[in-house]
Structure 1
């Protein structure tokens, strides 16, 4: 998570959406950079709303706009699946070795997810809060130029991004019946992604 006080902007770090590259490029420019531990670096909107937002509102008297990135839901699960295929993960509880992508997505759709499929929810991460706190600027992962142009203009910087925390390359396909299951069980993921203009 990065906070830019003068620009009244916070950039949330949604896992598997390329935000680590932006964090690295902008952390020295930010007024507050939360890069560790992962539970705080990847704090969802509800944690920002509970802990960070009140600090700026009460102490500084300002409301920050919130920017975030969302990845197409199937691609997002594919990135998690590949990320947990890295060689050093073999034998660990969260590894996806020996599990097909179809099985991974089926298990993600269960009420009780096995550890390897327990990767959270982008829709929950970005969910508008009861007090009205919401993501002001939501960008598609697949449209990096729009996000980059927004940040460059808003922060008056020129960005040079390096890929970080990249999942291994791997061809993945999801069978039509499993995709239909995913869309039926997690419609909020697709609805939020489709709402991004």
Structure 2
């Protein structure tokens, strides 16, 4: 999470949406940078509203909340690859030795999911205290260049993103039937991604 007081922007770090590179590029402009531990770096909207927003409160100059969302199936692929890395082998949250098809099936269980499949939704992450999606500017992962342009304009300087926190390269085939079930299971996230801003002027 980044707090930029001059342009009055808060960048929420939705897990597996490429925000690590944005945070690195914007760190010098930020008045608050939460990198660690993960529960602070990935503080959700309710966390911001309850814990940090009161510290920056200025009713005449409200903050705009910015977030990136990703196609939910692609995001699960990223989680699967991330938890496939060598340093997790032998741990309960490792996906090593597990097919993506089986991983998806575990994610869709209503409860008692294995540790490797306990993944929050983007919709819940961006839901505020009032029960509604509370981010002001939501960009699709595939349109991060538009978000970068908006941020550069707000800060009055050029921004260049480096690729960081890359996951291992692992094949992730998925049957059409399982993908259809997965998209139904993640319908709110699918709708959120579909209606997110594709360009900075929309």
Shorter-chain TM-score range = over 0.9
Q: What is the TM-score when the length of structure 1 is the normalising length?
A: 0.93
Separation (CA, whole Å) in 2 of partners of 1:150 and 1:171: 34
How far does the alpha carbon of each residue in 1:82-112 deviate from its partner, in whole angstroms, 9 at most, with x for none? 0011112111110001111011111111122
Contact 2:3 2:32 in 1 (8 A): yes
Q: Give SS of 2:134's match.
A: coil
Contact 1:106 1:181 in 2 (8 A): no
Aligned pairs for 1:45-60 (under 5 A) are: 45-57=45-57, 60=58
CA spacing shift, 1:51–1:102, aligned 2, 3 Å: same
Contact 2:3 2:9 in 1 (8 A): yes
Contact 1:9 1:64 in 2 (8 A): yes
Q: Equivalent residue for 1:39?
A: 39
Separation (CA, whole Å) in 1 of partners of 2:12 and 2:116: 24
Separation (CA, whole Å) in 1 of partners of 2:7 and 2:78: 32
Separation (CA, whole Å) in 2 of partners of 1:117 and 1:68: 23
**Long gaps (5+) in structure 1:** none
Contact 1:56 1:63 in 2 (8 A): no
Separation (CA, whole Å) in 2 of partners of 1:96 and 1:45: 28
Q: Equivalent residue for 1:191?
A: 191
Structure 1 stretches of 4+ with a deviation exceeding 4 A read none
Shift of 1:132: 6.7
Work out whether 1:174 is the aligned partner of 2:200: no
CA spacing shift, 1:132–1:107, aligned 2, 3 Å: closer
What's the RMSD between the two structures over aligned residues?
Answer: 1.5
Shift of 1:162: 1.4
Shift of 1:169: 1.9
Separation (CA, whole Å) in 1 of partners of 2:63 and 2:74: 30
Q: Give SS of 1:23's match.
A: helix
CA spacing shift, 1:147–1:66, aligned 2, 3 Å: same
Q: Equivalent residue for 1:22?
A: 22
Q: Equivalent residue for 2:99?
A: 100
Contact 1:69 1:138 in 2 (8 A): yes
Q: How many residues align?
A: 195
